[in-house]
Structure 1
Amino acid sequence: MAQPFIHNNKTGLTRDLIEAMFPMFEQASAGAIAVDRDCRIIWLNHTYAALLGVDNPEAVIGQPIQPVIPKTRMPEVIATGRPLLLDIMEYGDQQLVVTRLPYFDDAGQVIGAVAFVLYDDLQPLTPLVSKYRRLHQDLVAARKALACKTRSTRYSLGDFVGATPAALEVKRRARLAAGRDMPVLILGETGTGKEVLAQAIHSVSPRSDKPFVGVNLAAVPENLLEAEFFGVAPGAYTGADKRTREGKFQLANGGTLFLDEVGDMPLTLQAKLLRALQEGEVEPLGSNRVQSVNVRVIAATSRNLETMMADGSFRSDLYYRLNVLEIGIPPLRERLPDLGILCEAILEDICQGLDMRGEITDTGVAALSSYDWPGNIRELRNVLERALTMDEESGTLDADAIFRVLPRQGSGSRRVERCGAGRPLAEVLAAAEAEAIESALVACRGNRSRAAQQLGISRSALYEKLAKLS
């Protein structure tokens, strides 16, 4: 058998680790590469060499990686010791889904990194990715506890899970936002992960060592919002504290201020917020003195701000101040192929620290794909938690376990709307096809192979049709 990969015989310290992990890389990736702590290539398999157009793989061993892969982020992994899971890399006219992992010596020092390009089918890698994610989260949590940092973030870009084109575009824009100190507006339905993304942007931005302060505008009474934002001077009103009470702007000074559900902000406060953003200063309630502040604002909303501007309930000048870089998070129903890896990540998180295990079968994922998910990822987590509670003994969620807890409404309501009177023929046919697919999945208890056989189509064709349903 031909040598499966190219390596440097002088790198014995890393060779054992790489060779131990190689079979999984070779089976579940379209190419893999490893570098040492100086970002020199120490290993390159033949499939990656062919993908990169490297005619003589032996010649690049020992060479810096950047001339070979100009847009590589391996130096970032070496410098930070943090993995970059399910990232997107542009190479020529290709967009590749890449995972990069650091590896360490016995003293905990980074001695190199390995990266591999994934196939479209992520299922073989989800156990590895989920385990590595859990271990990395444990490490991050321990470091945060030791550092006793206040108002730090819980999430990084790796916590926004997904590998569909829509999810990868969200990550691309988030990386763009992290590298530029500009206002960001995140749009998405409830439960799509807007705060996760906001924290992720902050965690990899130049302000990451400064506070991240979030405020949900829908949860604060209107008469308290001004004090919440700008603070209160001593004795500003009857019963006020005799000490200065700092507002969110002062607490976030130097860092990031996250305005969740900004569409719920009353007009009176919108004008004051706009002035604070334009002038970089705030005036606490009951004070005649202004305070300079330097914050980066990330706003999020599930409402249509353009419609609100048209009816006069949201200021257009504030909208344009906030919406310098817009990131739209698609609803879960528009990225159903991400369900498998989302379930792996959520189940790992649910079971973390508990004396239980949780995993989901292909049929369980198929059962989930038949639902509309109006509550998005938040609802998905709720369904998985209930399913685990009902089936705690086995910890394995199959189609039966999912159907027992899955709400009965959802995609059926969409079919009624699509198949209404006066609809174009193409829409009626598409709705009929969707109904046939979902009926087959229910009849086969989520078994996609049997459902495809019942429908008279191939399994791959069924996957494609499920991905297109929205």
Structure 2
Amino acid sequence: MGLSAADLDENGLKIGISPEHFRAVAMPLLFDHLNAQCEGTVAVNRQARIVWMSDKYASKIGLADGHSALGREIEDVLPASRLREVVDSGEPSLLDLMPFGDEHFVVTRIPLRADDGQVVGALGFVLFDRARHLKPLMEKYGRLQARLAETERALLQARRARYTIANFIGTSAVATEIKRQARRAAQLDATVLLRGETGTGKELLAQGIHNLSARANGPFVAVNMAAVPDNLVEAELFGTAPGAFTGADRKARLGKFELANGGTLFLDEIGDLSLPLQVKLLRVLQEQQVEPLGSNQVRPLDVRVIAATHVDLEARVAEGSFRADLFYRLNVLALRVPSLRERREDIGALVEALLDDIAARSGQRPLELADDALALLAAQPWPGNVRQLRNLLERAQLSADSGPLDAAALAALLGTAGAVLAMPVAAARAGAAPDASLGARPDAGQDAIRAATPDARPGEGVVPLADALAHAERVALRAALQACGGNRRLAASRLGISRAGLYAKLQQHGITR
């Protein structure tokens, strides 16, 4: 098909023009346009010496004309120029800010190539001689930077420890002592091992130690080893290289050790870690460096580890399920967190603080407990410790109607064991004989509770709490043994205490059968 006159223009650009012809025609047009629109143009050769400079550029930088710059190295004329880098790398620099005196030029730089593709020089254009021309772009960039900074702050805040040692509520001797030990541990940068039953507040103390330490401004990262599947623990702790395994993210994934860098890593339920991973954890603790899964590069770390467990690690070491060398490495500063049974005198303060927190979270008025309800709580075995106490109070908050909650209502939430323990507390407050609450009728305990309410017997003397608690414990022990047919192992399990603890209490109360 032939071409008509409409297929041509005054510059010779026709439909179907060859690439070579197009380049020969278009490049001069492009250069002339850029040179006319820009604030200045400069070209350098392979040695980064100036081979051409527009008079506009020369005037802008204080030269008489462009000819006076010829042959000089680009840095002699423009100290901040990066044209030499473009020549050496062959890569363009499409948008940049170049300082010159008190001003900043917005520039673009492109390599110049010969027909064989070899870089023979570079060309630089001053797009604007004032950065204000980029104001819309800079404002958008600033907004994105601010959003990124806000996200980073939120992420950092999420990794901050919320609690202090003061949040471990209690003034009993054992509570005071564990807080003293925690404050001492905070001043040292050694590994800490927190030991104690579940629900005693080990993570709270770990956060308190972190917040009082020199690492307080760093992240606090917590990992519950029992909650992570065995096949994911290594990736969770140490991170992964890109595509480390089938289904892995194409990007590298940071592990908890690297996320805690500069701060504290809390490893809860450390006794559940498998033997192969115990070896890797020991190496990280000793070398203070981590090697992500699927990578052959090690990365330095600055992390303090606080571990916690409710199991007997010495027994695990003896049976071969926990490495002795890792145990020694973790057991540098060992703190035993007391159970709630060991600090019953703190229950009143704990109940008050927990009820306030529950009310604040639920938006309801704080629940009030009657004196007999508090005495009942103090008599419980609390196998779940403070966590179990909080759970009970949350249920009580939801079920309460109005007025103080008494022991009878609380016993219903506690179940059979709570009702058994409620009997001696109510009987003692009612002035009954020591074992009067063990009547034959199933509802005798509830009758005693109702009879023991403050309005039932006004003016009667108050039984010392220690006596009431001792009596409650004695009756609970006898009731458990009777319910279990004398099987002490089963009775100890039902009461939520160890068999050795049961024997000690039986001896303390003189119960021989």
TM-score, normalization: structure 1?
0.59
Distance 1:361 1:297, change over 3 A: same
Displacement of 1:445 after TM fit? 5.6
Distance 1:449 1:307, change over 3 A: farther
Spell out the pairing of 1:304-343 with structure 2 (5 A cutoff).
Answer: 304-343=312-351
Native 8 Å contact 1:363 1:446 kept in 2: no
* Deviation string, structure 1 residues 40-62 (Cα, Å, up to 9, x no partner): xxxxxxxxxxxxxxxxxxxxxxx
Within the candidate set 391, 394, 409, 1:385 is matched to: 394
Within the candidate set 171, 174, 187, 1:166 is matched to: 174
Hey, what's the Cα distance between the residues in 2 that align with 1:356 and 1:268? 51
Displacement of 1:370 after TM fit? 2.5
Hey, what's the Cα distance between the residues in 1 that align with 2:171 and 2:226? 31
Within the candidate set 268, 278, 294, 1:270 is matched to: 278
Hey, what's the Cα distance between the residues in 2 that align with 1:247 and 1:438? 58
Q: What is the DSSP-based 3-state SS (H/G/I as helix, E as strand, rest coil) of the residue aligned with 1:239?
A: coil
> Higher relative contact order at CA 8 Å, sep ≥6: structure 1 or structure 2?
1
Hey, what's the Cα distance between the residues in 2 that align with 1:461 and 1:449? 19
Q: What is the DSSP-based 3-state SS (H/G/I as helix, E as strand, rest coil) of the residue aligned with 1:378?
A: helix
Within the candidate set 451, 459, 464, 1:459 is matched to: 464
* Deviation string, structure 1 residues 122-153 (Cα, Å, up to 9, x no partner): xxxxxxxxxxxxxxxxxxxxxxx999623011
Native 8 Å contact 1:227 1:247 kept in 2: yes
Equivalent residue for 1:303? 311
Spell out the pairing of 1:442-453 with structure 2 (5 A cutoff).
Answer: 443-444=448-449
Aligned pair 1:366/2:371, yes or no?
A: no
Native 8 Å contact 1:336 1:466 kept in 2: no
Distance 1:273 1:448, change over 3 A: farther
Equivalent residue for 2:224? 216
Is the radius of gyration larger for structure 1 or structure 2?
2
Q: Which runs of 5+ in 1 are unaligned?
A: 1-144, 414-434
* Deviation string, structure 1 residues 425-454 (Cα, Å, up to 9, x no partner): xxxxxxxxxx95986997346959999x9x
Hey, what's the Cα distance between the residues in 1 that align with 2:203 and 2:403? 29
Q: Which amino acid aligns with 1:236?
A: A
Equivalent residue for 1:203? 211
* Deviation string, structure 1 residues 42-90 (Cα, Å, up to 9, x no partner): xxxxxxxxxxxxxxxxxxxxxxxxxxxxxxxxxxxxxxxxxxxxxxxxx
Equivalent residue for 2:249? 241
Native 8 Å contact 1:337 1:467 kept in 2: no
Distance 1:446 1:177, change over 3 A: farther
Distance 1:172 1:448, change over 3 A: farther
Q: What is the DSSP-based 3-state SS (H/G/I as helix, E as strand, rest coil) of the residue aligned with 1:360?
A: coil
Displacement of 1:286 after TM fit? 0.7
Within the candidate set 399, 404, 407, 2:412 is matched to: 404
Q: What is the DSSP-based 3-state SS (H/G/I as helix, E as strand, rest coil) of the residue aligned with 1:214?
A: strand
Q: Which runs of 5+ in 2 are unaligned?
A: 1-152, 422-433, 439-443, 475-504, 506-513
Q: Which amino acid aligns with 1:186?
A: L
Equivalent residue for 1:134? none
Within the candidate set 343, 357, 366, 1:357 is matched to: 366
- The farther-off stretch of 307-316 and 187-196 is 187-196
Within the candidate set 144, 149, 152, 2:160 is matched to: 152
Distance 1:179 1:238, change over 3 A: same
Native 8 Å contact 2:358 2:366 kept in 1: no
Q: Which amino acid aligns with 1:316?
A: A
Q: What is the DSSP-based 3-state SS (H/G/I as helix, E as strand, rest coil) of the residue aligned with 1:218?
A: helix
Q: What is the DSSP-based 3-state SS (H/G/I as helix, E as strand, rest coil) of the residue aligned with 1:233?
A: coil
Displacement of 1:238 after TM fit? 2.3
Native 8 Å contact 2:256 2:265 kept in 1: yes
Hey, what's the Cα distance between the residues in 2 that align with 1:363 and 1:437? 17
Native 8 Å contact 2:411 2:418 kept in 1: no
Q: What is the DSSP-based 3-state SS (H/G/I as helix, E as strand, rest coil) of the residue aligned with 2:357?
A: helix
Displacement of 1:409 after TM fit? 2.8
What percent identity do the matched residue pairs reach? 52
Instruction: Indicate the RMSD between aligned Cα atoms, in angstroms.
Output: 3.3
Q: Which amino acid aligns with 1:296?
A: R
Hey, what's the Cα distance between the residues in 2 that align with 1:192 and 1:326? 15
Q: Which amino acid aligns with 2:360?
A: Q
Hey, what's the Cα distance between the residues in 2 that align with 1:200 and 1:355? 29
Q: Which amino acid aligns with 1:356?
A: R
* Deviation string, structure 1 residues 145-191 (Cα, Å, up to 9, x no partner): 99962301121112111111111111111111111111111111111
Equivalent residue for 2:240? 232
Native 8 Å contact 2:379 2:473 kept in 1: no
Native 8 Å contact 1:212 1:256 kept in 2: yes
Hey, what's the Cα distance between the residues in 1 that align with 2:215 and 2:471? 41
Q: What is the DSSP-based 3-state SS (H/G/I as helix, E as strand, rest coil) of the residue aligned with 1:258?
A: strand
Within the candidate set 267, 279, 290, 2:287 is matched to: 279
Hey, what's the Cα distance between the residues in 2 that align with 1:438 and 1:268? 55
Q: Which amino acid aligns with 2:187?
A: G
Native 8 Å contact 1:387 1:404 kept in 2: no
Hey, what's the Cα distance between the residues in 1 that align with 2:342 and 2:276? 36
Distance 1:291 1:468, change over 3 A: farther
Hey, what's the Cα distance between the residues in 2 that align with 1:332 and 1:437? 28
Spell out the pairing of 1:70-219 with structure 2 (5 A cutoff).
Answer: 149-219=157-227
Displacement of 1:460 after TM fit? 5.6
Native 8 Å contact 2:412 2:418 kept in 1: no
Hey, what's the Cα distance between the residues in 2 that align with 1:165 and 1:438? 32
Q: Which amino acid aligns with 1:340?
A: G
Distance 1:303 1:447, change over 3 A: farther
Native 8 Å contact 1:356 1:395 kept in 2: no
